[in-house]
Amino acid sequence: MAITDFAYAPNPLTIDAGSVVTWSNTSGQDHTVTSDSGTALASGTLGPGDSYGNLFDTPGTYSYHCEIHPTLMKGTIIVTAAAATRTPSGSPAPTPPPGTLPPDFKTPITTVEASPSETPGPRPSDARGTGASSSGTLLVVGLLLALLIAVILLYATLRRRGEG
């Protein structure tokens, strides 16, 4: 939502309840976002580059204006109950499961069948763990062998020098 020179854009603006609208003053002048009635919107003076946000929880039509340019700048926010409708439809959804337990149980069972196939997944990860530890053991053995070889070479070198 931008505040341009003497205008709000977009206007009118329709949003779902629970949405936050932020006005940004992209103009070079001071403006305000002030409710025509009530105190829902009271940005105070917004200088160039300032912004003002408001959360619209309650469905309805919110008319506002600029206190500095009341005749030029008017806007409307239309808040629909769409978000509120979703919440009720969301709560009934959990309710049906108790009544339709058998069908829903079958679905979870399918999910359970899916999870066993995921269980093999963890097993590979376990195998990875084993593989990691075995590779770790191999690494240690390798290091020890390398150290042993190094000692033997060093010994052999010292011995040759001793002979020479």
Contacts with Cu ion: how many residues (CB under 5 A)? 5
Do 56 and 20 contact (CB within 8 A), yes or no? yes
Scan residues 13-72 and list those touching Cu ion (CB under 5 A): 31, 66, 68-69
Q: Min. distance of Cβ 10 from Cu ion in angstroms?
A: 17
Q: Nearer Cβ to Cu ion, position 41 or 66?
A: 66
Q: Nearer Cβ to Cu ion, position 69 or 74?
A: 69
Could you give the maximum distance between any two Cα atoms of the chain, in Å? Answer: 109
Q: Min. distance of Cβ 111 from Cu ion in angstroms?
A: 57
CA distance 150 to 156: 10
Q: Which pair of structure tokens corresponds to residue 127?
A: 């195998």
Among 1, 17, 73, 77, binds Cu ion (CB under 5 A): 73
E-strand ranges in the chain read 2-4, 7-9, 13-16, 19-25, 34-35, 51-56, 60-65, 74-80
Q: Min. distance of Cβ 75 from Cu ion in angstroms?
A: 11
Footprint of Cu ion (CB under 5 A): 31, 66, 68-69, 73
